[in-house]
Structure 1
Amino acid sequence: MKELKFAGAAGITGIGTSIPKYQLKQNEVFQRIEESCKKDSDVMRWARRIFRQCGVDTRYTCEPDFLKPAGACRYLPDHEEAVVPSTSERMEVYQRESVPLAAQAAREAMTDAKLAPSSVTHLITVSCTGQFLPGLDTLLIKDLELSRRINRIPLTFQGCSAGLKAIQLAKSIVESDSSHHVLVVCVELCTIHFQPPASREALFGASFFGDGASACIISAVTDAEEHVFQLGSGHSVLIPDSVDEMIWNVGNQGFDLYLSPAIPKLLKSFLREEVGLLLGDHLPPLWAIHPGGRGIVDAVQDMFMLDDSQVAYSRDILKHYGNLSSVTILFVLKRMREDLVQQGKEQANGISLAFGPGLTAELLSFSYISRTEKLHSSEKDAAYV
């Protein structure tokens, strides 16, 4: 395994999350789906199957229209003549709702890291569910009172794996200069792209995607930190012959999503080799898996013979929040950290995995450290995978 020198290594020193105020319960969403496709028995049978197996109980949305009675929701109408929101209308919702949600998560992350906004040197913004100019990064600088000279790096339209990609990029920035402090902010409003369920493909988005934002601070780890995820080696890989397995196109009525049911099987075909390349033969106890769906978590658990406790963080986030696209991996890491703090765990190694269009896989090793001065004072200056 590769060793990473402790002093000056990059780590996640603060995490923040936020969700909209409107909760979607799966049974209520299914009622709206049922009203929308009651004349198509094939789609209805498929809907029952997806909603029963997706592993989601509740999600959150920024759009109160989804709380209307079945048949009255503009996104999921119960008759073919209804006019559903255009892409332009959906982008108006995105621009209005994404910034305050992202800002809330960012403030929590900076507070958690005990870092003043003026000390942030780089801002990486991540989103694939909306676009506008001047962009999210520009508005966050004003809202958060960040420096006007901050280095801005927007990552747009890269899907679920982009959150972990941003963390890897921030790690490289901090390792190049230990005075840098990077704020990563991810925000996704997946529900504004719900489509009338005229096909099986349209049902995936309506069955397990939700809205939310997450953020983290990545800085050089000192010997006076608490509850840090120290970041180790990582890499990304593009899987050959898989470009058609996950597709996200801009349509006239929102973004059109296609997810192949073969994705879990494809993960099994390559992921073992990639994890071995990163970690060798030593699998860690901690697994932060992006819960792109129940089948993805199942595939990773089966492949590496993980205990239920090792995938519990991912399943818990999926159950209570759904798939939040790029936002989700920081929700998982935050939940993991809360549990490790409660357990009184001093140190543990882990790996984080996320998957996106391409197909792309992001892999990053890390170590949880409860108090870095203990590690430093005991002269364990080589850490972890």
Structure 2
Amino acid sequence: MATAHINRIGTAVPPNDVHAAFVNFVQHFITERREAAVFKRMVSRAAIEHRYSYFVPVENPDGFEADTEGFYTPDAFPGTAARMARFAKTAPGLAMQAIDALNLDGERERITHLVVASCTGFIAPGIDQLIVKAAGLDPGVERTGVGFMGCYAAVNSLRLAHHFVRSDPSARVLVVNLELCTLHFQQTANLEQLLSMLLFGDGCAATLVTADETGIALKDFRATTIEDSGESITWAVGDQGFDMHLSGEVPGKIARALKHEYERNDDRGLLRGTRPSDYPLWAVHAGGRTILDAVETGFDLAPDKLNWSRGVLRDFGNMSSATLMFVLDRILRGIGTTVESATDGFGVAFGPGLAAESFRFRTV
């Protein structure tokens, strides 16, 4: 049976770094001195330096607007329709930037499957159809949409590509993870919500998965759900965009669940009867500093094992489903230099449920 390989990954982000401007802007919404001090402290500990968006930030905003066009004007934040219109306008272009970074010239007509994952926008005709036309793919390409699954959609989209290639070794699968998280900022004084929004930026990854034996070989996939955690991460469509709830209890729940997996160590668990030390390479969704700390603690990993994930978090923030693909891109680019071939790896992402989606891989 054929083995699916990640051959190449192309990545793209919008042109504007909005992290500092966002921090300055939302501080206007915090009226309690104690909460303002907590927010400032958490910003300094977030381990994020850059996040990107299509919005052009106003330097040192005075509370009247956060961006040059006034999309986020206090007391007049846009409704869901306006946000979806902006998704339709900008998302296809970002997808094409990532696809162009794959250098598919001469290969586009050979793509047999297209998988598109996104949880930050809905349009019809869908992004998948727009990509087919803009990228010059065969109009008969098999299209699959992975919608509204959140951060772990990266693993689910790779799993689909894995199954396509295993069932048809001639399949050539283009996977696109496309997220515009900055379309969903909310005006609120709720500290937990503000800290959640502090994490998110925009990004897109395009990945070529085939049976060609180059890059990263995908071995197997496994998922699990943490009991009594269904309300820990939620993502609901509201009248003013999509409302994110990310409980402060999430890192602790992840750490405890992974410690349990580490201790049980049987073939039914995430580790499949292996030990974390069996995997020199770790591709972990960079959901936030505390999430990465929880994985490190739960699996008792050496601090340097999550360097790729921490680097992506620092440089881009959490881009939902695109984030893990940015981590894999750094590992892929390191093969032959900082990463040895024939090295085993473990990938995992977390999202609503509270669920963990995992996979094992090997560099080729």
Scaled by the length of structure 2, the TM-score of the pair is: 0.91
Query: Aligned runs of 1:326-365 on 2, under 5 Å?
Result: 326-343=321-338, 345-365=340-360
Looking at structure 1, the residues matched to 227 and 322 of structure 2 have their Cα atoms a distance apart, in angstroms, of 26
- Kept in 2, the 8 Å contact 1:50–1:207? The answer is no
Residues 145-196 of structure 1 show CA distances to partners (whole Å, capped at 9, x for unaligned) of 1111111100111100001110011101110110111110011110111112
* DSSP 3-state at the match of 1:148: coil
Aligned counterpart for 1:134 among listed residues 125, 138, 154? 125
Cα distance change of structure 1 residues 93 and 65 upon mapping to structure 2, 3 Å threshold: farther
Query: Aligned runs of 1:52-201 on 2, under 5 Å?
Result: 52-65=44-57, 69-71=61-63, 72-73=65-66, 74=70, 77=73, 82-109=75-102, 111=104, 116-201=107-192
Query: Aligned runs of 1:299-378 on 2, under 5 Å?
Result: 299-343=294-338, 345-369=340-364
Unaligned runs of 5+ in 1: 370-385
Looking at structure 1, the residues matched to 103 and 176 of structure 2 have their Cα atoms a distance apart, in angstroms, of 11
Aligned counterpart for 2:15 among listed residues 15, 21, 29? 21
- Kept in 2, the 8 Å contact 1:43–1:197? The answer is no
What is the CA-CA distance between 1:270 and the residue it aligns to?
2.4
* DSSP 3-state at the match of 2:257: helix
Residue 268 of structure 1 aligns with which residue? 255
Cα distance change of structure 1 residues 308 and 91 upon mapping to structure 2, 3 Å threshold: same
1:295 maps onto 2:299 in alignment: no
Q: Aligned partner of 1:339: which letter?
A: G
Scaled by the length of structure 1, the TM-score of the pair is: 0.86
Residue 280 of structure 1 aligns with which residue? 273
Aligned length: 352
* DSSP 3-state at the match of 2:102: helix
* DSSP 3-state at the match of 2:287: coil
Residues 102-141 of structure 1 show CA distances to partners (whole Å, capped at 9, x for unaligned) of 1111232353xx7611111111101001101111001000
Looking at structure 1, the residues matched to 334 and 126 of structure 2 have their Cα atoms a distance apart, in angstroms, of 35
Residue 36 of structure 1 aligns with which residue? 29
1:12 maps onto 2:6 in alignment: yes
Looking at structure 1, the residues matched to 127 and 205 of structure 2 have their Cα atoms a distance apart, in angstroms, of 14
- Kept in 2, the 8 Å contact 1:248–1:255? The answer is yes
* DSSP 3-state at the match of 1:134: coil
Residues 61-82 of structure 1 show CA distances to partners (whole Å, capped at 9, x for unaligned) of 112256673422246545xxx3
- Kept in 1, the 8 Å contact 2:233–2:354? The answer is yes
Q: Aligned partner of 1:19: which letter?
A: V
Q: Aligned partner of 2:17: which letter?
A: Q
Looking at structure 1, the residues matched to 320 and 127 of structure 2 have their Cα atoms a distance apart, in angstroms, of 17
Residue 379 of structure 1 aligns with which residue? none
Looking at structure 1, the residues matched to 337 and 36 of structure 2 have their Cα atoms a distance apart, in angstroms, of 43
- Kept in 2, the 8 Å contact 1:75–1:195? The answer is no
Looking at structure 2, the residues matched to 271 and 53 of structure 1 have their Cα atoms a distance apart, in angstroms, of 23
- Kept in 2, the 8 Å contact 1:221–1:230? The answer is no
Unaligned runs of 5+ in 2: none
Looking at structure 2, the residues matched to 13 and 273 of structure 1 have their Cα atoms a distance apart, in angstroms, of 34
Q: Aligned partner of 1:240: which letter?
A: E
Aligned counterpart for 2:43 among listed residues 48, 51, 72? 51
Q: 4+ runs of 1 displaced by more than 6 Å?
A: none
- Kept in 2, the 8 Å contact 1:14–1:110? The answer is no
- Kept in 2, the 8 Å contact 1:54–1:294? The answer is yes
* DSSP 3-state at the match of 1:48: helix
What is the CA-CA distance between 1:42 and the residue it aligns to?
4.6
Residue 204 of structure 1 aligns with which residue? 195
Q: Which moved more, 1:279-288 or 1:122-131?
A: 279-288
Cα distance change of structure 1 residues 339 and 309 upon mapping to structure 2, 3 Å threshold: farther
What is the CA-CA distance between 1:52 and the residue it aligns to?
2.0
Question: Percent of pairs identical after alignment?
Answer: 33
* DSSP 3-state at the match of 1:345: coil
- Give the alignment's Cα RMSD to 1 decimal: 2.0
Looking at structure 2, the residues matched to 327 and 344 of structure 1 have their Cα atoms a distance apart, in angstroms, of 22
- Kept in 2, the 8 Å contact 1:17–1:331? The answer is yes
Aligned counterpart for 1:253 among listed residues 240, 243, 249? 240
